[in-house]
Chain A
Amino acid sequence: MSLYNNIASMLRKPRKTRAQEHNRRFYRKPDNETNKKSQLEMIGLTVIVVIVITGLLIVTVYKFNNPPRNIQKRYINKETATNLLIAMTNTNVGECNNLSLGNLLSDCGSSYPSINCFDYTSCEIANQTINTLLNQTLVDWDLSFELNISSPFQDIISHFANLNCDSTSKQQEQAFELLPLEAQNVLEITLILCLDR
C-alpha cells in the first residue's frame, strides 16, 4: 500500500456500525424535550439564587432593625458601680454633724438605732441623702437601676429604683457593699444596673 493510502486510512473516520446508525435515527431526543429540560434547570438555579438573596436580606434587615442599644453618653460597669457605693458610704452628711453615710446606715440597720439629728432619725437622713445622691448621679444619667439596703434586724431599710430595672433585663451589672453591724451581722447594699433600658 502506498504512503498516501496509509495516511488516508489513518485519517478516515471509523464507520458506524449498523446498530449505532439505527439508534441515531430512531432514539434521538426531540428538540422540545431538550429545551424543556435546560429551561427547568435554569429556573431551578434562579429559584436557589432568589432564596439565598432573600435569606441574606432578611438577616440584614433584622440586624439593622433591632432596637438600638441604649447609647450611653457615659460608660459605666460593675467596678464603677462598686466604687460608687464605696464613695457614697464614705461621704459625710453635713445635716448630721458630718457623720458619714456609712455610719448613719449602720445605725439605721442596727437593732437599736440611736442617732438623731434635728428630730430626724438616722434612717430618714440616710434615705434623704441617698435620694439626693442618686438623683445627681444615676438618675441624671438616665440609667435604669435598683438599689436595695437590707439588714438582718429590719429586712429592707431602703429601696430606690429608676426606669423599671427588674429581673427581665438581659444586661445587668450588680454591685455590693457590706457594712458591719453589731454581733457580727452585716448591712447589705445592693445596686443593680440594667444597661439595656
Chain B
Amino acid sequence: MVNAGGLMLQIKCLDKRGFALQFTWLFVLIAGAIILGFFFSLINNLMHGEEVQTDIKATQELDALIKINLASGDTQKIVLFDKKIIFSADSGSTYSEYYVENSPYIAKYEYNAVFSPNELEGDEVIIQNVMFKAPFRTLPVVYVSNKDIEYVFVNTSTIINLVSSYLPENLTKASVSRGLMPDYPDNNYDHTVFILDDAAYLNSLRPNSFRNADKRLFAVVITPGQNTIYGYGNLTFYHYTSSNDFVSDGSVPFLDLTTIVGGVISHDKAIYECNLRKVLKRINLLTDLHTQRMRHYQDDISLFECKNLYQTAIAHLENMKESSIDGEKLFTEDFQNLLISINELRILNPYIIGTKDCPGIY
C-alpha cells in the first residue's frame, strides 16, 4: 500500500511534468513563429525599401546626365541602364517629365529640350547633346534613345541622307529603297520607325510579319518648306493601328536639322512639340536680350559707323521674337520667318565684327 502511494505520487509528478513539457513546446512554437514572422516581414520591407531607393537613385543619376547645362559642348554618352524609363509631355506647353518604372520619384524638366521616345527599355541608354544655334548659341538639345529602336530611312533623297548622317552614332539605323519597303522584315526591335519624305509610300508597307505592330511601328514624314531642304518645314507623325493602317497623329513644324532629328528620335508628336516649344521660348528670351544690347550699342557715339547695321540687326531680332511666340498652335510661316532672320543675322554678324570692327550681334 505504501509503495502504491509512492508510485501514485511519482505518477502525479510525471503528469505535471508532462503537461509542463507540452506547454513549453507549444509556447516555443508560437513565440518562435511570431518572431520568425516578424523577421521575415522586416526583411521583406527592407528589400522593398531598397528597391525603391535604387529606382529613385537611378532616376536622379539619369537626371544629372539628361539635364545638360548651357555650357556643355556636343558630346555623346552611353550609359548602362537596365530599367524602363517612361517619358511624357504636354504638347500645348513646356511641361514634361520622366520617371523610372516603379519609382515614386518623377523628374520634371520644363526648361531642358530632351527629345526621346515615350518609353525606353533596354540595357543601355544613349544620350547625345547638340548645341542648337539660331544663329547664336541658344540651348543644348538632348537626344535620348537606345539600340533597341530601329530607325529605317526610306529612299535616298537629299533630306533623308542628311537626316541619316546627322542621327547620333551608335543608334540602330537602316536604309531601304521604296521598292523594298513593303516587305521590310520584323527585326524584333522594341520600336521600328520609318523615316520618309513622302507619305504616299507609307501604306505600301505590309507589316504582316510584325508582331504587335500597333505598339511597335511608327513613321515620321519630313516635308521641307519652300526653297529649302532642311531649314524649315513640317514633320508628320504616324503610328500603326490594329486596322492595318498608319494613322496620322498630326503635323508640327521644324526648324533646322537639329529639330528634325529630334522629331525622328522621339517619333511622338506630343514629346516633339513640347520640346520644340522650349527651343522657341529660349529663342524668344535670347532675342530680347540681344535686342537690348543692340539698342545700347546704337546709343554709343563711338559706334556711330555701325548704327545702321545695328538697326537692321534689331529689325531681324524683333522679327525672330515675333515668330517665336509660343501660341496655341505652331505655324509653319513663323518658322519660315525665323529661318529668314537667322540667315540674315548669320551674314550680318561677321560683317559687323570683321569689316566694320564693331561689337558683334552675338
Contact = CB atoms under 8 A, between A and B. Distances in A.
Interface of A: 1-3, 6-7
Contacts of B9: 3, 6-7
Contacts of A2: 2, 5
B7 to A, nearest CB: 10
B327 interface: no
Contacts of B2: 1-3
Interface residues of B, number: 4
Interface of B: 2, 5-6, 9
Contacts of B5: 2-3
Contacts of A6: 6, 9
Contacts of A3: 2, 5-6, 9
Contacts of A7: 9
A24 B6 CA distance: 37
Given A2-B5, A3-B9, 8 more contacts: A1-B2, A2-B2, A3-B2, A3-B5, A3-B6, A6-B6, A6-B9, A7-B9
Question: What 9 A-B pairs are tightest by C-beta distance, nearest first?
Answer: A3-B5, A6-B6, A2-B2, A3-B6, A1-B2, A3-B2, A3-B9, A6-B9, A7-B9
Nearest to A3: B5
A69 to B, nearest CB: 32
Max chain B Cβ within 10 angstroms of own Cβ: one of A1, A6, A7: A6
A1 B5 CA distance: 11
10 contacts: A1-B2, A2-B2, A2-B5, A3-B2, A3-B5, A3-B6, A3-B9, A6-B6, A6-B9, A7-B9
B35 to A, nearest CB: 37
A172 to B, nearest CB: 30
A5 B252 CA distance: 110
A3 B5 CA distance: 6
A6 B5 CA distance: 10
Contacts of B6: 3, 6
A6 B8 CA distance: 13
Contacts of A1: 2
A2 B9 CA distance: 12
